[in-house]
Amino acid sequence: MEEGINNIKERIKKAAMECGRKPEDVTLVAVSKTISAGKIKEAFDCGCNIFGENYIQEAGKKIKELVGIPISWHFIGHLQSNKAKYAVKFFDLIHSVDSIKLAKALNKEAAKVNKVQNVLIQINISGEVAKSGAEAGEAESIIKEISGLENLSIRGLMTMPPFFDNPEKAAPCFNGLYRLSRGIEKLDIKNISMKHLSMGMTGDFETAIKCGATLVRIGTAIFGARNV
Ligand SMILES: *Cc1c(COP(=O)(O)O)cnc(C)c1O
């Protein structure tokens, strides 16, 4: 596993430098859905300290097993409002806020435990019907409304493009998210930041970095193919 992780870190660095960005401005989120706590610990020992999970129940179990290890947990899956309490309890950053309803549920739970919950707004940049995420055209109004929720802090945007066999084909989606974030930044909405762009996975993270990704979510290239 160590070799795989070192290799990914090298590729991240190289992709950043090739487009004139600083390697330290791109952060690796190791996606550990379906991966055991033991393997996560192994990856931690090889230098990963941020892990992304998709399912609350599965994540909760592993997080409890790994308590005491200084891991930062990110939630990257589709989140239902009725799981907001657990999302707030376990995760430092939730990448997948895509509605006012979910934001309000998270805000309420965060207020109860006196936490300011960091979130990203997930955008369905390709507009595909089957994809989750808010529509790009709604982003401004959603973000304006969420910015007023005192216990949430918007840190940027996330997207997941459709699957392409050629990663270059995802570039228009990544560029679209970048442009959207710059446009929102110009609106000077109080209490929000557009620092982060969560985009890029095993198959297309180098393209995403060239389009401005600050968080890349990589599972397969670290842990191998998932058998589900
Ligand atoms: C599973 C998953 C990833 C990681 O995908 P790989 O192709 O294994 O790198 C990234 N982001 C999200 C939202 C995922 O669900």
User: pLDDT of the chain along its 228 residues, tens only?
Assistant: 999 999 999 999 999 999 999 999 999 999 999 999 999 999 999 999 999 999 999 999 999 999 999 999 999 999 999 999 999 999 999 999 999 999 999 999 999 999 999 999 999 999 888 788 999 999 999 999 999 999 999 999 999 999 899 999 999 999 999 999 999 999 999 999 999 999 999 999 999 999 999 999 999 999 999 976
The answer to whether position 56 is within a domain reads: yes
Number of structural domains (the chain) is 1
The residues pairing with 154 across neighbouring beta strands, listed in sequence order, are: 119, 192
Note the pTM of the prediction, 2 decimals. 0.97
53 CA to middle of ligand 1, Å? 9
Q: Is 163 in the pocket of ligand 1 (CB under 6 A)?
A: no
Instruction: Describe the chain by its helix, strand, coil percentages, rounded to 5.
Output: 45, 20, 35
216 within ligand 1 shell (Cβ under 6 A): no
- Residue 193 · residue 5 · CB < 8 Å: no
Q: Are 79 and 87 in contact (CB under 8 A)?
A: yes
The verdict on residue 90 lying in a domain is: yes
2 residue type, one letter: E
Is residue 21 one of the residues assigned to a domain?
A: yes
Rounded Cα gap, residues 132 and 96, in angstroms? 9
The CATH number for 33's domain is 3.20.20.10
Domain encompassing residue 72: 2-223
Report yes or no on 50 lying in a domain: yes
> How does DSSP classify residue 192?
E
Check if 202 has its Cβ closer than 6 Å to any atom of ligand 1: yes
d(CA 91, CA 104): 17
Q: Is residue 96 situated within a structural domain?
A: yes
**Ligand 1 contacts CB of residue 217 (under 6 A):** yes
Q: Give pLDDT, residue 219.
A: 98
Residue 207 CA to ligand 1 centre (angstroms): 15
On whether residue 142 sits in a domain, the answer given is: yes
Residue 2 near residue 223, CB atoms below 8 Å? no
Q: Is 132 in the pocket of ligand 1 (CB under 6 A)?
A: no
Q: Is residue 26 part of a domain?
A: yes
Q: Is residue 228 situated within a structural domain?
A: no
Contacts 24+ apart (CB under 8 A), 14-17: 15/205, 15/206, 15/209, 15/210, 16/209
Residue 228: the pLDDT is 65
